[in-house]
Structure 1
Amino acid sequence: MTISLGWVVTALISKFYEVHRYSSALRVYNLLVRQALFFSLLVFAYEGVFPQSNLNPVLILRYIIFCFLFISLFKYLLFFLLKNYRAYLKGNTRRTIILGDSKEAKDLELFFKNNPESGFINTKTVSFKKREKIDLNTLFSYIKAESVDEIYCSLSEIEAVDVKAITKFADNNLKVVKFVPEQNTVLNQDLKRDFYGMVPVLEFRTIPLDDSFNLALKRLFDIGFSLLIIVLILSWLTPLLALLIKIESRGPVFFSQLRNGYNYKSFTCFKFRSMVINDKANVIQVSKADQRITKLGKIMRQTSMDELPQFFNVLIGDMSVVGPRPHMLSHTEMYANKVDKFMVRHFVKPGITGLAQVSGYRGEVETDKDIIGRVKYDIFYIENWSIFLDLKIIIQTIIKAIKGDEKAY
Structure 2
Amino acid sequence: MSQHSLLPSTITYQLTRRKNHPRLVADVLLLMFSYVLAAGLTQRALQEVDVLIISGMGMGWYFSSRLSDLYNEFRTVTFIDELLALLPNLLIQFLVLVVSLFFLKDYDYTRSFTLAYVAVLAATVTLKMYGTRKLMMFWNAKGVNQRNLVIVGEMNQVDGFRSLVQRNPQFGYTILGTWGYKESGRKTPPLHETIDFLNETSMGKVIDELVIAPSQFEESYVKSIISWADRKGILVRFTPGFFQFSASRYSLELFGNYPLITVRSTPLEMDSWWMLKRAFDLIFSALFLVLVASWLFPLIALAIALDSKGPVFFIQDRWGQRGRNIAVWKFRTMYYKASTVREDGGFNQTTQDDPRITKVGRFLRKTNLDELPQFINVLLGSMSVVGPRPHAVKHSLETLPQIENYMIRHRLKPGITGWAQVNGFRGETQEIGLMRKRVDYDIWYIENWSLLLDFQIVLRTAYNMVKGDPQAF
Name the CA distance, whole Å, in 2 between partners of 1:273 and 1:47: 53
Q: 2:262 aligns with which of 203, 223, 230?
A: 203
TM-score (norm 1): 0.61
Q: 2:425, 2:277 → 1: CA distance?
A: 24
Q: Which residue of the partner structure matches residue 42 of structure 1?
A: 30
Structure 2 letter corresponding to 1:250: K
Q: Which amino acid aligns with 2:312?
A: V
Letter in 1 for 2:269: D
Query: In the alignment, is residue 187 of structure 1 matched against residue 239 of structure 2?
Result: yes
Between the aligned partners of 2:38 and 2:348, the Cα distance in structure 1 is: 64
Structure-1 separation of matches of 2:40 and 2:444: 48
**Which of 248, 252, 273 is 2:311 aligned to?**
252
Give the aligned partner of residue 180 of structure 1. Answer: none
Checking the alignment, whether the CA contact within 8 Å between 1:47 and 1:55 is kept in structure 2 is: no
Structure 2 counterpart of 1:369, one-letter code:
G
Query: 1:280 maps to what in 2?
Result: 339
- Matched with 2:390 is 326
Indicate yes or no: 2:330 matched with 1:271. Answer: yes
Instruction: Give yes or no for the alignment of 1:375 onto 2:427.
Output: no
The C-alpha deviation readout for 1:163-194, integer Å capped at 9, x for no partner, is xxxxxxxxxxxxxxxxxxxx966216474221
Aligned in 2, Cα 1:60/1:367: closer, same or farther, shift over 3 Å? same
SS of alignment partner, residue 321 of structure 1: strand
Asked if structure 2 preserves the Cα contact closer than 8 Å seen for 1:275 and 1:292, the reply is yes
Q: 1:72, 1:56 → 2: CA distance?
A: 23
Distance (Å, rounded) in 2 between the aligned partners of 1:70 and 1:402? 44
Distance 2:362 2:301 in 1: 15
Cα distance in 2 between the residues matched to 1:402 and 1:51: 44
1:402 counterpart residue number = 466
Relative to structure 1, is the Cα distance of residues 269 and 38 closer, same or farther in structure 2, using a 3 angstrom cutoff? farther
Q: CA deviation at 1:72?
A: 10
Gap runs ≥5 in structure 2:
1-18, 64-215, 220-234, 243-248, 342-346
What secondary structure is seen at the aligned counterpart in 2 of 1:244? helix
The code of the aligned residue for 1:262 comes to Q
- Retained in 2: the 8 A contact 1:36–1:68? no
Cα separation, 2, equivalents of 1:263 and 1:34? 42
CA distance in 2, matches of 1:351, 1:277: 26
Of 335, 339, 343 in structure 1, the residue corresponding to residue 403 of structure 2 is: 339
Task: State the secondary structure of the residue aligned to 2:238.
Answer: coil
Seen in structure 2, the aligned counterparts of structure 1 residues 50 and 224 have a Cα distance that, compared at 3 Å, is: closer
Identity of aligned residues (%): 38
Aligned to 1:151: none
Partner of 2:53: 63
2:275 is the counterpart of 1:212: no
Question: 1:47 offset after TM fit, Å?
Answer: 5.5
Give the whole-Å Cα distance in 2 for the aligned partners of 1:402 and 1:360.
15
3-state DSSP class of the match of 2:327? Answer: strand
Residue 290 in structure 1 maps to residue 360 in structure 2: no
Q: Distance in 1 between matches of 2:57 and 2:295?
A: 44
Report SS of the residue matched to 1:345.
helix
| 1:361 partner SS | coil
Match in the other structure for 1:350: 414
Distance verdict in 2 for CA 1:402–1:71, change over 3 Å: closer
Per-residue CA deviation, residues 335-383 of structure 1 (Å, 9 max, x unaligned), is: 1110121110000010011010010101110312210110111011101
2:317–2:392 CA contact under 8 A, matched in 1: yes
Q: Give the SS at the match of 2:349.
A: coil
Instruction: Give the TM-score taking structure 2 as reference length.
Output: 0.53
Secondary structure at 1:395's aligned position in 2?
A: helix
Q: Structure 1 counterpart of 2:29, which letter? A: L
Q: Structure 1: how far apart are the matches of 2:250 and 2:287?
A: 39
Distance 1:326 1:391 in 2: 20
Tell me, which stretches of 5 or more residues in structure 1 are unaligned?
1-29, 74-153, 158-182
Give CA deviations for 1:183-226 in whole Å, capped at 9, x if unaligned: 96621647422122322221112111111111111111111111
Q: What's the offset of the Cα at 1:402?
A: 0.8
Q: Mark the structure with the bigger radius of gyration.
A: 2
Q: CA deviation at 1:40?
A: 2.8
Give per-residue Cα distances to partners, 1:125-174, cap 9 Å, x unaligned.
xxxxxxxxxxxxxxxxxxxxxxxxxxxxx9557xxxxxxxxxxxxxxxxx
CA contact (8 A) 2:32 2:54 kept: no
